[in-house]
Amino acid sequence: MRWSQTLIPTLKEDPSDAEIVSHKLMLRAGLIRKLSAGAYSYLPLGLRSLNKIINIVREEMDAAGAAEVLMPVLQPAELWRESGRFDGFGDLMCRFTDRAGRVNVLGPTHEEVITSIVRDSLNSYRQLPVTLYQIQTKFRDEVRPRFGVLRSREFQMKDAYSFDVDEAGLGHSYKAMYDAYCRIFSRCGLKYRPVEADTGLIGGDVSHEFMVPAESGEDIMLSCAKCGYDANAERAECPPTKDAQGPCDSGLAGKSNVREVSTPGAHTVEQVCKFLNTEPAQLIKTLIYMADGKPVAVLVRGDREINQAKLQRFLKAGTLEMASAVTILDVTGGPLGFSGPVGLKLRMVADWSVWPMKDFVTGANKADTHLVEVNLGKDFKIEEFSDLRMAKEGDRCPRCEGTLALTHGIEVGHVFKLGTKYSSKMNALFRTEKGEQKPMVMGCYGIGINRIMASAIELYHDEHGVIWPMSIAPYQVIIVSLRQDDEQIMGAAKKIYENLQKVGVEVLWDDRDLAPGVKFNDADLIGIPIRVTVGNKVVKAGTVDVKPRSAKEQVPVFHAGAVEAVTEMLQKYTCG
RNA sequence: CGGGGCGUAGCUCAGCUUGGCUAGAGCGCUUGGUUUGGGACCAAGAGGUCCCGGGUUCAAAUCCCGGCGCCCCGACCA
């Protein structure tokens, strides 16, 4: 392709509405343009890279034995009511009512659709296992789209779904996808780590996310250098410490020493600590949640945070939200900020961090009042303890004696063992060898295509622009011709351009009549891996210069040998 | 959804506090000329719904009210 015939609108300055480096560079290099918040057009260069990623994904899915399908974006709400997710997804799902008054959604994911297809088409163990996938646009009405294409309302996803007869079968399907994902990310040139993950709205028991380490990543991973444990912070386990092995009601025998103290205006942990001259770790926070509409008191040590995902799983709640101030007053008798477990007539659950605590501070369910020297067993009882807190940097590793370290990351893929969550609700059944009917055992597997592109740029760039990995670069080679009015130069450039195309090299020829500096800077900005410069030297010495984008120095070669030099370099820089 | 910021030429922004003449700069664009291996120079030129609507005023980019859009932080989140 000649630059003069395509659309590559590069920008000299950073666009004002971009914050992170991949977003800035994608706009500046003319890969994308924003239409509205969270909706982007892909221009020729961006689309070429996107398609290269899609090709890699497709090759690896096919190699892993998955079959490609294409399902509708437009889906009836009814289908989502079957699985029970119509409400679960809430406003995250784009919905509209059609002319006949039917409620429709734009698919945020396709578990329901694929399950409805499979339940009608497969009914015997003889037909299983099967893995189906598609590559398609997904819609999510995100609360806050941001970071360019990293969190957008419309994006490209590869989603795959496996159907097996049992858990063991699912294990194999899951492994096959997991391995395919590793190959895909490697071939795209990414650094990545699979980590244990929470299953969120998709559901299921086991899941792994594939994370690209990046400062700008929205996700936080906690990892143990000692044993290799690696998990998303929202998933990372916080098992009970050794202290929690013993009785938590150690003070049961003695008399209660609880005293009320006045703490006017102190309703945050910090304020209370300052007032009572104590530490957050000596407080118990009592949070009131509404789980499926019923109030629950949740206790955690004052210096820790509740992990809502863990809580929701423990309570097996369909919906979970923090109670309003009005509700808190109603169920505890005290205002927001002064809740405590003593005398509370609610379901109470506590994080393990509460277990070993003694003589602690709690709210008194009374305005401007706290209780001190409170003890478990003596003053109140907790029947249910569990791991409910958010893990954080510096915590003990749940698997060994190591310490957890923190890294930010971009989630580029996520694999789930769903089990029978969808198949049983939606009646996707099959007949076993013995003639019994059983729900299929499912897995689902997603890759964010656009995120692969953005995270590659996050990983590989310098102050001049993008440095594409060869496998997903829009073009492999860029020819920069320096004098558009010089027949010898243009003739040599054209010959190299045509000969490279003949041997199947993807080449962009910058044939624009612009100053050399402009063209070099644009070439650096768009980051094509190999640059061939054709200028005066071809006239004077018969040479052109070949330079990898990632290298500082260029090497002169005779123009007749340029194609050979380039193809040699191509091999050197191609990974996977 | 809470908090903050922004909206003026294709892009980046100044002007707004303290209302006033024809609304500005740099880059980009057009034409002519000179240049040509790292964002060149000279000259001439085109380009505006100052986000939208209403109000105040002799007079509004500027002040007031309402709305829309975008960005950031938080809450939330495959």
* Spatial separation of the C-alpha atoms in residues A135 and A279, rounded to whole Å: 52
The Cβ of residue A62 has, within 10 Å, a number of other Cβ atoms equal to: 13
* Spatial separation of the C-alpha atoms in residues A189 and A200, rounded to whole Å: 28
Residue A312 has pLDDT above 60, yes or no: yes
Give pLDDT, residue A199.
82
Residue A71 has pLDDT above 90, yes or no: yes
| Helix or strand (DSSP H, E) at A328 | helix A325-332
Number of residues that this document lists for chain A: 576
Q: DSSP alpha helices (H): ranges in A93-191?
A: 111-121, 167-187
* Spatial separation of the C-alpha atoms in residues A288 and A286, rounded to whole Å: 7
Residue A576 has pLDDT above 60, yes or no: no
**Would you give the DSSP letter of residue A16?**
T
* Spatial separation of the C-alpha atoms in residues A14 and A281, rounded to whole Å: 45
Q: What six digits make up the tokens of A231?
A: 């998990």
Residue A575 has pLDDT above 70, yes or no: no
The integer distance in angstroms from the CA atom of A155 to the C1' atom of B13 is 32
* Spatial separation of the C-alpha atoms in residues A233 and A531, rounded to whole Å: 42
Backbone φ, ψ for residue A441 (5° rounding): -100, 120
Given CA atoms A479, A483, A486, A489 in this order, what sign does their dihedral have?
negative
Question: Whose C1' is closest to the CA of A23: which nucleotide?
Answer: B71
Average pLDDT of the segment spanning A309-332? 84
Confidence of residue A246 (pLDDT cuts 50, 70, 90): low
Q: DSSP alpha helices (H): ranges in A433-515?
A: 449-459, 487-502
**Would you give the DSSP letter of residue A391?**
P
Residue A88 has pLDDT above 90, yes or no: no
Which domains are seen in chain A, by residue range?
Answer: 53-70+108-237+405-457 (3.30.930.10), 242-386 (3.90.960.10), 475-573 (3.40.50.800)
- Between residue 463 and residue 492 of chain A, the positions with Cβ below 7 Å from nucleic chain B are 464, 482-483, 485
Backbone φ, ψ for residue A299 (5° rounding): -105, 135
Give pLDDT, residue A240.
86
Percent of all residues in chain A with a pLDDT value above 90, rounded to a whole number: 73
* Spatial separation of the C-alpha atoms in residues A450 and A138, rounded to whole Å: 11
Average pLDDT of the segment spanning A228-242? 89
| Strand B–CB A538 distance below 7 A | yes
Q: Name beta bridge partners: A134.
A: A159
* Spatial separation of the C-alpha atoms in residues A415 and A171, rounded to whole Å: 12
Contact indicator for A194, A396 with CB cutoff of 8 Å: no
pLDDT digits (tens, 9 = 90+) for A334-367: 888 889 999 998 899 999 999 889 899 999 998 8
The integer distance in angstroms from the CA atom of A252 to the C1' atom of B3 is 46
Give pLDDT, residue A253.
59
Nearest residue to B73 (CA, C1')? A144
* Spatial separation of the C-alpha atoms in residues A385 and A354, rounded to whole Å: 9
Give pLDDT, residue A77.
94
Residue A566 has pLDDT above 60, yes or no: yes
pLDDT digits (tens, 9 = 90+) for A267-278: 788 788 888 888
> Which strands make up the sheet holding A320-322, listed edge to edge?
A320-322, A284-291, A294-301, A347-351, A384-386
**The most confident of A304-318, A332-346, A549-563, by mean pLDDT:** A549-563
Q: Who's near A296: CB < 8 A, 6+ residues apart?
A: A288, A289, A290, A315, A346, A347, A348, A349
Lowest mean pLDDT among A317-326, A348-357, A440-449, A521-530: A317-326
Confidence of residue A249 (pLDDT cuts 50, 70, 90): low
Average pLDDT of the segment spanning A545-560? 96
The integer distance in angstroms from the CA atom of A513 to the C1' atom of B44 is 22
Give pLDDT, residue A414.
95
Average pLDDT of the segment spanning A63-72? 98
Closest alpha carbon to A490 in A452, A544, A541: A544
Backbone φ, ψ for residue A557 (5° rounding): -135, 155
Q: Name beta bridge partners: A296.
A: A289, A347
pLDDT digits (tens, 9 = 90+) for A456-506: 999 999 999 999 999 999 999 999 999 999 999 999 999 999 999 999 999
Confidence of residue A87 (pLDDT cuts 50, 70, 90): confident
Compute CA distances A455 → A42, A150, A190, A191, A555, whole Å: 16, 8, 8, 9, 30
Mean residue pLDDT of chain A comes to: 92
Residue A326 has pLDDT above 60, yes or no: yes
Q: At what angle do helices A562-573 and A487-502 cross, to 10 degrees?
A: 50
Residue A116 has pLDDT above 90, yes or no: yes
Give pLDDT, residue A418.
95
The integer distance in angstroms from the CA atom of A37 to the C1' atom of B62 is 29
Contact indicator for A351, A301 with CB cutoff of 8 Å: yes
Q: What six digits make up the tokens of A471?
A: 């496998």
Residue A400 has pLDDT above 60, yes or no: yes
Residue A248 has pLDDT above 70, yes or no: no
pLDDT digits (tens, 9 = 90+) for A137-173: 999 999 889 999 999 999 999 999 999 999 999 999 9
| Strand B–CB A534 distance below 7 A | yes
* Spatial separation of the C-alpha atoms in residues A549 and A461, rounded to whole Å: 10
* Spatial separation of the C-alpha atoms in residues A51 and A36, rounded to whole Å: 23
* Spatial separation of the C-alpha atoms in residues A37 and A154, rounded to whole Å: 10
| Strand B–CB A17 distance below 7 A | yes
Instruction: Find and list the nucleotides of strand B having atoms within 7 Å of a protein beta carbon.
Output: 1, 6, 11-13, 26-28, 35-40, 69-78
Buried b (16+ CB within 10 A) or exposed e, A150-164: bbbbbbbbbbbbbbb
Q: What six digits make up the tokens of A485?
A: 């009015």
Confidence of residue A72 (pLDDT cuts 50, 70, 90): very high
* Spatial separation of the C-alpha atoms in residues A333 and A336, rounded to whole Å: 10
Question: Whose C1' is closest to the CA of A88: which nucleotide?
Answer: B77
- CB-based burial of residue A236 (10 Å sphere; 0-12 exposed, 13-18 middle, 19+ buried)? buried
pLDDT digits (tens, 9 = 90+) for A487-499: 999 999 999 999 9
Give pLDDT, residue A185.
97
Give pLDDT, residue A245.
63
Cα A220 vs. chain centroid, distance in angstroms? 10
pLDDT digits (tens, 9 = 90+) for A501-543: 999 999 999 999 999 999 999 999 999 999 999 999 999 999 9
Contact indicator for A159, A444 with CB cutoff of 8 Å: yes
The integer distance in angstroms from the CA atom of A530 to the C1' atom of B4 is 44
